[in-house]
């Protein structure tokens, strides 16, 4: 813990907010549970906290002598507060976790988790069940199995499950239009229910076997398959016996890729925390159906004044904000309010959730294994951070920056002969590529010529920095405070002197003078290693062919190019598969199907008269007029 802040600080008496403001604000608070937000003079949320008694909790911030430096700085910066009362402390805990993840306050423990976990879904919204990978909201009819730690773990398991149980993975439209079995049937990864190669009753038997395996009864499934293989062999039906043999081998393959499988634990998540040099790693292992479904390391942002219990407790509340908790959670450290957190998670899950810190037996071994992985993951991250920091120092030296850049933004454009133009921005920093901060810009200008890269770059940079000035301020100098901020220290543009001139003109027009801009042009015949760099007031130059800075910038440029191309292809695919009917407000999937079924195509809908449109089921007179007017205006 840090030493208390001295009460002799003059600024504390003259601060417009601070302890005096908090004391006045607390006087009007109720003695009820709820969530409070501390806000600075710029309107940024500094801290989100929960309280069993809002009045007492907020009043505690006015006792400055009892606070460490971190809390004292937060109190002094507080210019406003907001509160939300809740019925119970459990509701307050859930709301606090939700707000922390959404607002990312500077003084809270922040879980950096920008991806949902993948699941295996046995979809039941079709008469013939389908097995597939699923992310996002679990609102589709069927059984969900997971979470898995990575998409790779799901894909490996799915491939093996297809070989073991021969369940279909094709879309419903493909399934409905098959007239003969596809390649998956030929390579023995599907039983081809689409063309009747297996009866519905036999296919239901395969589904039942898959469910038994995924719910932890893998040994009984294995024994049944062994018995069937031996029966087929005794009847000298060796071809059928070979099918069962291959399915048994596929089951073994699934289990062999799941690492440590516990003997006494069916369903649990294991959390182990390791701290070193003011950095934290939380390693999470997922166990479902008695099988290890992978692990993932997290590196939450936490002030050094937080102890292990505080970090782990806040991490857990945020972690399960968008995913269902299991019935048991094993921890490496005791937390302060296990009963409250258990009640909150049970409320969210709809079943009892038990938190435990095992002291002996297999569960303790699992926690120890997770703790060793957390220690190793943090060591690797610290080693990578040190190398990355050296590299960024070299970038600063190469481009004359005053200090190592905390944030580098790289811009690129993508289009095909001017069609579907799109700009892309990627972000890199001391922690590597910050993919959750990537941005794409759909080019909106109607006046530019097709394929005008300069105009595209002008629009992208103008939109980016106009918004940044509006949200962050600080045109004259880089703003201070906050989590490294969203202002870049260095901008790298894929292009040459022309693109650099556009960027400098945009920055000048907006009054942004503190950001270094560099254009990176491909070498002769687009050879990697011969790139030329353009900066204002400096002659174009090249870096040494083996310079680590050059390799680093090449990787960033290639990543920007990959992101731009991928986004452009997705946009182009959407445009190709889209329909003019999608542009009409009030036309949903049902009306769209009715119109296409009635007329045969969107072109015929556009040619139809008012009376023809009114004849379509579900299309009112007003809607028919809207559809007719939409296409009539387009024709004019």
* Percent of the chain surpassing pLDDT 90: 11
444-453 pLDDT tens trace: 765 667 667 8
CA distance 523 to 529: 7
CA distance 108 to 49: 8
The DSSP symbol for 582 reads G
Q: Look at residue 478 and give its three-state secondary structure.
A: coil
Q: What is the pLDDT at residue 8? A: 30
With beta carbons less than 8 A apart as the criterion, state whether 329 and 316 touch.
Answer: yes
Q: Report the predicted TM-score, pTM, of the whole model to 2 decimal places.
A: 0.62
**Alpha helix stretches (DSSP H) within 399-496:** 453-472
Lowest average pLDDT, out of 296-310, 452-466, 564-578, goes to 564-578
Total residues found in the chain within this entry = 636
261-308 pLDDT tens trace: 566 777 889 999 998 877 889 999 888 877 777 788 888 887 777 788
Q: What is the pLDDT at residue 575? A: 61
Q: Which fold is adopted by the domain 580-635? A: DNA polymerase; domain 1 (1.10.150)
Q: Look at residue 459 and give its three-state secondary structure.
A: helix
Three-state SS string across 35-86, please?
EEEEECCCCCEEEEEEECCHHHHHHHHHCHHHCCHHHHHHHHHCCEEEEEEC
Phi, psi of 30 (to 5 degrees): -85, 160
Q: Which fold is adopted by the domain 268-379? A: Nucleotidyltransferase; domain 5 (3.30.420)
Instruction: State the residue for tokens 């002030």.
Output: 303
User: Does position 470 have pLDDT exceeding 60, yes or no?
Assistant: yes
Question: Hey, where are the domains in the chain?
Answer: 11-103, 119-256, 268-379, 407-547, 580-635
Give the contacts of 192 (CB within 8 A, at least 6 positions apart): 168, 181, 182, 184, 185, 198
Q: What is the pLDDT at residue 355? A: 92
Helices (H) and strands (E) in the chain, counts: 21, 19
Q: Which CATH architecture has domain 407-547?
A: 2-Layer Sandwich (3.30)
Write down the CATH number for the domain with range 11-103.
Answer: 3.40.1440.10
Q: What is the pLDDT at residue 14? A: 38
User: Does position 141 have pLDDT exceeding 60, yes or no?
Assistant: yes
CA distance 608 to 35: 57
Rg (CA), the chain: 30
Q: What is the pLDDT at residue 189? A: 83
Give the contacts of 362 (CB within 8 A, at least 6 positions apart): 262, 263, 264, 265
The confidence band for 477, taking pLDDT boundaries of 50, 70 and 90, is very low
513-545 pLDDT tens trace: 888 999 998 866 656 667 889 998 888 888 887
373-425 pLDDT tens trace: 898 888 888 877 778 888 899 999 989 888 889 899 999 888 766 567 888 89
491-502 pLDDT tens trace: 999 888 889 999
297-354 pLDDT tens trace: 888 887 777 788 888 988 888 888 777 888 899 999 998 888 998 998 898 888 899 9
Domain 268-379 identical in fold to domain 407-547: yes
Can you read off the two tokens belonging to residue 68? 């460490």
423-440 pLDDT tens trace: 889 999 887 888 888 998
With beta carbons less than 8 A apart as the criterion, state whether 213 and 221 touch.
Answer: yes
User: Does position 127 have pLDDT exceeding 80, yes or no?
Assistant: yes
Average pLDDT, rounded, for the chain: 81
Mean pLDDT over residues 600-615, rounded?
82
CA distance 570 to 66: 55
User: Does position 15 have pLDDT exceeding 60, yes or no?
Assistant: no
The confidence band for 114, taking pLDDT boundaries of 50, 70 and 90, is low
52-106 pLDDT tens trace: 999 999 999 888 777 777 788 888 889 989 999 988 888 888 888 888 888 888 8
List the one residue out of 150, 145, 376 whose CA is nearest residue 272.
Answer: 376
211-224 pLDDT tens trace: 877 776 666 666 77
Q: What is the pLDDT at residue 157? A: 78
User: Does position 255 have pLDDT exceeding 90, yes or no?
Assistant: no
Positive or negative torsion for Cα 208, 141, 588, 443: negative
């Amino acid at each position: 813990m840090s030493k208390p802040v001295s009460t002799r600080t003059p600024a504390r008496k003259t601060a417009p907010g601070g302890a005096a403001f908090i004391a006045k604000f607390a006087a009007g608070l109720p003695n009820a549970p709820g969530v409070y937000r501390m806000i600075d003079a710029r309107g940024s949320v500094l801290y989100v906290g929960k309280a069993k008694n809002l009045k007492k909790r907020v009043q505690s911030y006015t006792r400055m002598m009892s606070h460490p430096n971190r809390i004292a700085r937060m109190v002094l910066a507080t210019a406003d507060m907001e509160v939300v009362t809740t019925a119970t402390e459990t509701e307050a805990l859930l709301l606090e976790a939700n707000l922390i993840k959404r607002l990312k306050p500077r003084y809270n423990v922040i879980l950096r988790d920008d991806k949902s976990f993948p699941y295996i879904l046995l979809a039941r919204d079709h008469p013939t069940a389908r097995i597939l990978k699923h992310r996002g909201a679990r609102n589709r009819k069927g059984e969900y199995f997971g979470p898995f730690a990575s998409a790779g773990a799901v894909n490996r398991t799915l491939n093996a499950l297809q070989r073991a149980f021969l369940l279909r993975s094709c879309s419903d439209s493909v399934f409905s239009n098959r007239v003969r079995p596809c390649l998956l049937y030929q390579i023995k990864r599907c039983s081809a229910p689409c063309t009747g190669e297996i009866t519905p009753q036999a296919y239901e038997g395969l589904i039942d076997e898959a469910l038994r395996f995924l719910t932890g009864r893998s040994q009984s499934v294995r024994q049944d398959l062994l018995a069937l293989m031996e029966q087929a062999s005794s009847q000298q039906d060796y071809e059928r016996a070979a099918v069962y043999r291959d399915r048994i081998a596929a089951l073994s393959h699934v289990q062999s890729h799941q690492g440590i499988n516990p003997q006494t634990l069916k369903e649990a998540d294991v959390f182990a925390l390791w701290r070193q040099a003011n950095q934290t790693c939380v390693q999470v292992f997922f166990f479902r159906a008695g099988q290890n479904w992978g692990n993932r390391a997290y590196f939450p942002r936490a002030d050094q004044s937080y102890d292990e219990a505080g970090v782990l407790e806040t991490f857990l509340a945020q972690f399960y904000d968008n995913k269902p908790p299991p019935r048991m959670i094993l921890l490496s450290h005791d937390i302060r309010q296990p009963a409250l957190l258990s009640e909150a998670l049970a409320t969210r899950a709809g079943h009892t959730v038990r938190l435990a810190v095992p002291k002996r037996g297999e569960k303790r071994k699992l926690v120890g294994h997770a703790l060793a992985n957390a220690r190793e993951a943090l060591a690797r991250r610290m080693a990578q951070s040190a190398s990355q920091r050296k590299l960024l120092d070299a970038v600063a030296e190469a481009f004359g920056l005053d200090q190592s850049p905390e944030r580098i933004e790289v811009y690129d454009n993508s289009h095909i002969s001017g069609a579907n133009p799109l700009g892309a921005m990627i972000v890199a920093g001391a922690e590597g590529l910050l993919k959750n901060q990537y941005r794409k810009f759909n080019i909106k200008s109607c006046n530019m010529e097709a394929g005008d890269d300069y105009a595209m770059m002008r629009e992208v940079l103008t939109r980016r920095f106009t918004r940044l000035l509006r949200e962050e301020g600080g045109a004259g100098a880089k703003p201070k405070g906050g989590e490294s901020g969203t202002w870049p220290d260095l901008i790298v543009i894929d292009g040459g002197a022309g693109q650099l001139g556009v960027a400098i003109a945009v920055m000048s027009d907006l009054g942004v003078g503190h950001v270094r801009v560099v254009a990176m042009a491909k070498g002769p015949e687009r050879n990697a290693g011969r790139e030329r760099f353009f900066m204002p007031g400096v002659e174009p130059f090249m870096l040494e062919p083996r310079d680590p800075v050059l390799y680093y910038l090449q990787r960033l440029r290639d990543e920007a190019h990959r992101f731009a191309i991928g986004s452009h292809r997705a946009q182009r695919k959407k445009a190709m598969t889209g329909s003019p009917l999608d542009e009409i407000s009030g036309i949903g999937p049902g009306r769209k199907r009715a119109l296409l079924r009635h007329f045969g195509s969107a072109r015929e809908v556009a040619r139809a008269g008012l009376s023809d449109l009114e004849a379509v089921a579900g299309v009112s007179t007003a809607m028919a007029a809207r559809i007719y007017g939409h296409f009539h205006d387009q024709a004019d």
